[in-house]
Amino acid sequence: MAVQNKKVLAQNISIGMYVSELDRPWIETNFLLEGFFIESIKDVEKLQDICSFVYIDVELTKERISIDAIEPSFLSKIKTIATTDIKDISFSSHTKKSQIPAPETTYKKTSSFSTEFRTANQLYKDITLTASQIFSDINSGNNIDLGSVKRSATAVVDSVVRNPDAFLWLTRLHEKDTYTHTRSLRTSIWSIAFARYLGLEKEKLNNLSIALLLCNIGKAKLPIELLENEEDLSDEEQLKYQKHIDYTLDALKIMGRTPQAIITVIRSHCERFDGSGYPMQLMGDEIPLLAQIAGLVSYYEEITNCRVQENSLDPTRAVEHIYNLRNKKFMPELVEEFICSIGIYPVGSIVELNSKEIAIIVEQNSNNQLLPKVLILRDDKRMPVNVFKLLDLYDINQNSCVSPKITHTYPLGTFGIDVEEVTSGLARVTEIENEMNNSWGLKNLFKKIVS
């Protein structure tokens, strides 16, 4: 069988990959072997220091990440994500941080997932149209209807405040929509959910949402070839690409009605903690907190949803990757809080259980983020299920003799799972929740679990 090689950008290199070729001759490096498994964070950093991209052997690459070594309570400690290289990372949710202010308010879920999903589904359609109209207006040389943007953003903020999981789920499943304007939309929703988790006041949630809906409008003035190749630009092309910030600010300045708080987020959201960002190379706390939040969630969105889909990281690898950038690209405390907020398995992730069944994460579980609520979509033979089952893994572990858990994660679209299929299942979520409560069904469902 011929070796199947795949080009992977340096920023997406991760532990477990088998590197078969570099972007330069092996003899120009100090690697002892021509071809090797990436075994540690040091290997990752070493490759990223000298390479822009590498080629991996698809057959040999370990594409699954085992999370068996993760301790049960993710919020209090992450022991490891992919290997034992990340040792005893200890931090707690909302502990006192030197650079993150204390929560300004406390949000509680006031709506069930099934109830909020129906509302969020319609709002998602509405705000997608709004985001599309923004870019259409810019392309046509028309002024943006800021009132419409504000109304849409406020409605989304209200929904995320009531229950963030519904919108985050929709955000994950719609990742293959038209790229630029839906990237702005998805990032906006991630930022609201994260700011809610941090306890920021609602006005700041609104400002974040609006800023991130508008932050990419300047890209409409960039040559299409820069947009299509934005993940692999030369230094000269990168300087041209970075002009999108100025183009955005110029467009908003002409309108003259954009609040300064929103302008500040847009101007600074591409800055990085170590000064490597743009346009002003700000460092550390020179970058406003809301802009740091916007920058972090924008980066997470980029690495989990690359324009070239094969370069995208699944959520678990993305968490590992972002953790390794703490105190470099991003404030370390903010990275830790972000990982706590989304968990190892963000809503919308496709996962495999130890029963060999395939499911999608529907809702986070406040009791244990390693045991969320999942919707079973494929049986242990990878075939579509006849009856959708919504399961609370934590509740099952606590109240039955079986111990379902997640063993692997997969990129979106794996096993042919799409928006329509999952939406169809969640449309009957009330019926599914009732079925889940029948304890006789749980034992039958997990009779094949590996003990």
pLDDT tens digits, 225-245: 888 777 678 889 999 999 999
203 plus 259 within the same structural domain: yes
Give percent of the chain above pLDDT 70.
79
Q: Considering only residues 187 and 68, tell me which one the structure prediction assigns the higher pLDDT.
A: 187
pLDDT value, residue 330: 95
pLDDT value, residue 431: 55
For every residue of 16-80, DSSP letters joined together read T-EEEEESS-GGGS--SSSSEE--SHHHHHHHHHH-SEEEEETTTS------TTS-S-TTTEE--
Residue 152 pLDDT > 80, yes or no? yes
Chosen domain end from 325, 342, 359: 342
137 plus 284 within the same structural domain: yes
Chosen domain end from 342, 377, 398: 342
Give percent of the chain above pLDDT 90.
24
Q: Is residue 430 part of a domain?
A: yes
222 plus 369 within the same structural domain: no
d(CA 409, CA 240): 37
153 plus 123 within the same structural domain: yes
- Whole-angstrom distance between the N-terminal and C-terminal Cα of the chain? 35
277 plus 308 within the same structural domain: yes
Q: Which two tokens stand for residue 47?
A: 């490759």
d(CA 375, CA 361): 7
320 plus 354 within the same structural domain: no
Chosen domain end from 342, 369, 384: 342
Q: What is residue 363's three-state secondary structure?
A: strand
d(CA 309, CA 288): 32
Predicted TM-score of the model (pTM): 0.70
d(CA 347, CA 169): 5
295 plus 390 within the same structural domain: no
pLDDT value, residue 27: 72
Q: Is residue 337 part of a domain?
A: yes
pLDDT value, residue 181: 58
> Per residue in 206-220, pLDDT tens?
999 999 989 988 888
Mean pLDDT of 18-34: 77
Residue 53 structural domain:
5-57
pLDDT value, residue 304: 81
d(CA 221, CA 247): 7
> Per residue in 93-108, pLDDT tens?
444 444 788 888 989 8
Give the CATH number, domain containing residue 241: 1.10.3210.10
Q: Is residue 198 part of a domain?
A: yes
Please, which residues have CB within 8 angstroms of residue 371's CB and are 6 or more apart in sequence? 365, 392, 393, 394, 397, 404, 405, 406
Please, which residues have CB within 8 angstroms of residue 349's CB and are 6 or more apart in sequence? 172, 314, 315, 316, 360, 361, 409
Q: Is residue 70 part of a domain?
A: no
pLDDT band at 270 (very low <50, low <70, confident <90, very high): very high
121 plus 198 within the same structural domain: yes
Q: Considering only residues 434 and 309, tell me which one the structure prediction assigns the higher pLDDT.
A: 309
319 plus 376 within the same structural domain: no
Peptide bond connecting 279 to the previous residue in cis, omega within 30 degrees of 0: yes
Q: What angle do CA 404, 410, 412 make, to 5 degrees?
A: 120
- 333 CB neighbour count, 10 Å cutoff: 17
d(CA 199, CA 107): 7
> Per residue in 311-368, pLDDT tens?
677 777 788 788 888 889 999 999 988 988 887 778 888 889 989 999 988 888 776 7
Q: Is residue 49 part of a domain?
A: yes
Q: Is residue 66 part of a domain?
A: no
Mean pLDDT of 108-137: 83
361 plus 335 within the same structural domain: no
E-assigned strands of 75-203?
77-78, 89-90
Q: Is residue 410 part of a domain?
A: yes
Q: Is residue 89 part of a domain?
A: no
336 plus 369 within the same structural domain: no
What integer best gives the mean pLDDT of the chain? 78
Q: What is residue 344's three-state secondary structure?
A: coil
Tell me how many domains the chain contains: 3
337 plus 195 within the same structural domain: yes
What's 378-393 look like in SS3? ECCCCCEEEEEEEEEH
